[in-house]
Amino acid sequence: MNEIITIDGPSASGKTSVAKLVAQRLGIPYISSGLLYRAVALMCLLENASAEEIEHRLEKHRLELKATPTQNLVYLDGHEVSQALHSLEVDQIVSAVAVRPAIREYVNQVLRQIPPPFVVDGRDMGSTVFPQARYKFYLTANPLVRAMRRVPERGAAFDTVLAEIMRRDEADKKQSAPARDAIILDTSHLDLDGVVRVVLEHIAPSSGPPEQNFS
């Protein structure tokens, strides 16, 4: 198998959980594009710089994503920063980072250097970054459901997380449009097994579903 599989969708739609398990079942790497945007957001925090300012400093930095069998490790200038990328502070500025054209192209170039096969999740992987991908999926879900999924990860109040998700939806609207040829799945009333089953039926019809839950 020498394919690229894209799984796009808004924040907390389940795309990361699904992409990881699909990759695991197919025995190929999983790539999280969003971590690279979060790494650029971290650059902003570390340098106390705006997204516009950091856009002009990208060439000073070296950004790498290394996929292991169980996770993605992100390195910024040779230092592993993966754990620092999942904070509310990063959440609050990553949308401003992701809309900057030079930053998007910078991240896209990092992604395009990764040799297939792999499963990649993001917001515009199928529509913009890998339009040649054979398999494209777009996951969505009700904002209330997505907030419930995200609360345990952030350690913040439900209302705070919901407000942030809705703000992210509006800010990411342009980048989050599904590819025209993507298969759209609403995960609001599906567990992880159900979503993965549908995806695998399109890719490898004989594959059975894994037994895990959304996280």
Q: Which of 136-140, 144-148, 150-154, 191-195 has the lowest mean pLDDT?
A: 150-154
- Nearest CA to 28 out of 114, 107, 137, 128 is that of 114
Is the pLDDT score of 212 beyond 80?
no
Same domain, 5 and 91: no
Same domain, 136 and 180: yes
Same domain, 138 and 167: yes
Handedness of CA 102, 170, 215, 133 (dihedral sign): negative
Residues 6+ positions from 60 with CB-CB distance below 8 Å: none
Is the pLDDT score of 211 beyond 60?
no
Same domain, 23 and 120: yes
Same domain, 93 and 193: no
Supply the pLDDT for residue 50. Answer: 96
Per the structure, the complete domain to which residue 132 belongs is given by 1-29+116-215
Is the pLDDT score of 207 beyond 50?
no
Supply the pLDDT for residue 167. Answer: 85
Same domain, 203 and 153: yes
Last residue of a domain, one of 113, 145, 164: 113
The encoded tokens of residue 91 equal 């959440």
pTM: predicted TM-score of the whole model, two decimal places: 0.77
Q: How far is CA 15 from CA 4, 12, 49, 59, 93, in A?
A: 15, 7, 30, 30, 21
What is the rounded distance in angstroms from the CA atom of residue 172 to the CA atom of residue 189? 23
- Nearest CA to 7 out of 30, 24, 27 is that of 30
Q: What is the mean pLDDT of the chain?
A: 88
Question: For the domain that residue 93 is a member of, what is the CATH number?
Answer: 3.40.50.300
Same domain, 138 and 201: yes
146-167 residue pLDDT tens? 888 888 877 788 999 889 888 8
Same domain, 47 and 150: no
Last residue of a domain, one of 113, 132, 150: 113
Last residue of a domain, one of 95, 113, 131: 113
What is the number of domains present in the chain? 2
